[in-house]
């Protein structure tokens, strides 16, 4: 073995660093944050302005009476009052608590179910397609059964929220685990990751993007199910956002009704944006965001 002559010569070192520098030149790019933020923001603002404008135009045409369809100015004025009233924040607290508990339960059920189906062949054969079938069931169709089982109670709402969201979470996990590149699994095993370590070091992180996508979709289902539940299952002592929406309709308070709808929309959007940010952060770390743009 010629172990004496082979230590790296300075010539090779220079060649290597030169080649590296050439190879990765021009891969860095840093457009200013502010600029990127603005170019993402202005189309959204413009679309919002257009929507409000269209709404105002419809009101001006006198298509519906103002007590049924108030104009933006009236609604935003009411929204201003609503935002500083305890009714909103109490209702939001009740609704947010239900959303958090329901979604957390759905995530727990979905993760366990997804892992089970992804790992155990019999479970996959038995439940794989059923999970997808469950996803296609409109959540509001569960309520009659939920009310029979749990009466007009929070349990009825949780029941439907979990049924609505868990299949999406489970599907995310199944999809994520199924599509872990086999090469990474082989590499992980060769590096000494077996059993639970393989899950911790390779499968879980590799499946994470799909799991986050499942969580995001699960949240959308949970939020819809929750709103449907709060409209149907009105518990007099707990004036949730959904209950307030029902009251606003019963009392024909159109501006309040629309203000509540705006709140529901914004809450849904904010949570969705949080999931979107998590998803984007993951994709940036993985280096799959480069071509996707903003």
Partner 1 sequence: MTPTTTTPRGVTGSVALRGVTKVYGQGGNAVLALDRVSLDVTPGEFVCLVGASGCGKSTLLNLVAGLDRASGGAIELGDGVNPGLMFQEPALFPWLTVEANVEVPLKLRGLPRAERRARVAELLRTVHLADFGRRRPHQLSGGMRQRVALARTLALDTPVLLMDEPFGALDAMTRDILHDELERIWSERGLTVLFVTHNVREAARLADRIILLSSRPGRIIWSTRVDVPRPRRIDSPEIATIAAEVTDRLRTEVGRHGQ
CB 172 within 8 A of CB 213: yes
Contact flag: residue 193 with partner 1 (CB under 8 A): yes
The distance of closest approach from Cβ of residue 284 to partner 1 in the complex, given in angstroms and rounded to an integer, is 9
Binding segment for partner 1 among 6-14, 70-78, 166-174, 252-260 (CB under 8 A)?
6-14
Rounded Cα distance between 285 and 281, Å, is 6
| Start-to-end Cα distance in the chain | 55
The residue (of 202 and 234) whose beta carbon lies closer to partner 1 is 202
# residues near partner 1 by CB under 8 A: 40
The distance of closest approach from Cβ of residue 209 to partner 1 in the complex, given in angstroms and rounded to an integer, is 9
**Binding string, residues 263-292; x marks residues near partner 1 by CB under 8 A:** -------------------x--xxxx-x--
By CB under 8 A, what part of segment 145-184 binds partner 1? 183-184
The residue (of 105 and 193) whose beta carbon lies closer to partner 1 is 193
The distance of closest approach from Cβ of residue 36 to partner 1 in the complex, given in angstroms and rounded to an integer, is 19
Contact flag: residue 29 with partner 1 (CB under 8 A): no
By CB under 8 A, what part of segment 204-233 binds partner 1? 205-206, 208
Contact flag: residue 23 with partner 1 (CB under 8 A): yes
Rounded Cα distance between 243 and 265, Å, is 16
The residue (of 18 and 138) whose beta carbon lies closer to partner 1 is 18
What is the distance of C-alpha 75 from the center of its chain? 28
| Contacts to partner 1 by CB under 8 A | 1-3, 5-8, 12-13, 15-17, 19-20, 23-24, 27, 183-184, 186-194, 197, 201-202, 205-206, 208, 282, 285-288, 290
């Amino acid at each position: 073995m010629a172990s004496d002559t082979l230590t790296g010569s300075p010539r090779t070192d220079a060649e290597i660093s030169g080649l590296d520098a050439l190879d990765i030149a021009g891969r860095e790019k840093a457009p200013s944050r502010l600029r990127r933020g603005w170019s993402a923001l202005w189309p959204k603002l413009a679309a919002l302005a257009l929507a409000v404008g269209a709404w105002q135009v419809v009101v001006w045409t006198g298509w519906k009476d103002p007590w049924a369809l108030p104009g933006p100015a009236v609604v935003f004025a009411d929204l201003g009052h609503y935002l500083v009233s305890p009714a909103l924040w109490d209702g939001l607290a009740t609704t947010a608590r239900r959303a958090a508990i329901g979604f957390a339960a759905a995530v727990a059920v979905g993760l366990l179910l997804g892992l089970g189906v992804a790992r155990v062949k019999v479970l996959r054969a038995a439940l794989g397609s059923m999970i997808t079938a469950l996803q296609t069931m409109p959540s509001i169709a569960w309520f009659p059964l939920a009310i029979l089982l749990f009466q007009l109670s929070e349990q009825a709402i949780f029941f439907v929220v979990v049924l609505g969201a868990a299949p999406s979470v489970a599907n995310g996990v199944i999809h994520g685990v199924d599509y872990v590149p086999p090469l990474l699994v082989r590499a992980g095993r060769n590096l000494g990751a077996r059993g639970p370590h393989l899950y911790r070091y390779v499968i879980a992180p590799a499946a994470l993007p799909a799991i986050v996508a499942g969580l995001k979709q699960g949240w959308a289902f949970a939020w819809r199910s929750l709103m449907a539940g709060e409209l149907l299952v009105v518990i007099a002592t707990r004036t949730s956002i959904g209950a307030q929406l029902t009251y606003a309709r019963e009392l024909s308070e159109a501006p309040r009704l629309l203000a509540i709808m705006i709140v529901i929309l914004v809450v849904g959007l904010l949570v969705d944006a949080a999931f979107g940010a998590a998803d984007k952060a993951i994709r940036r770390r993985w280096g799959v965001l480069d071509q996707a743009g903003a």
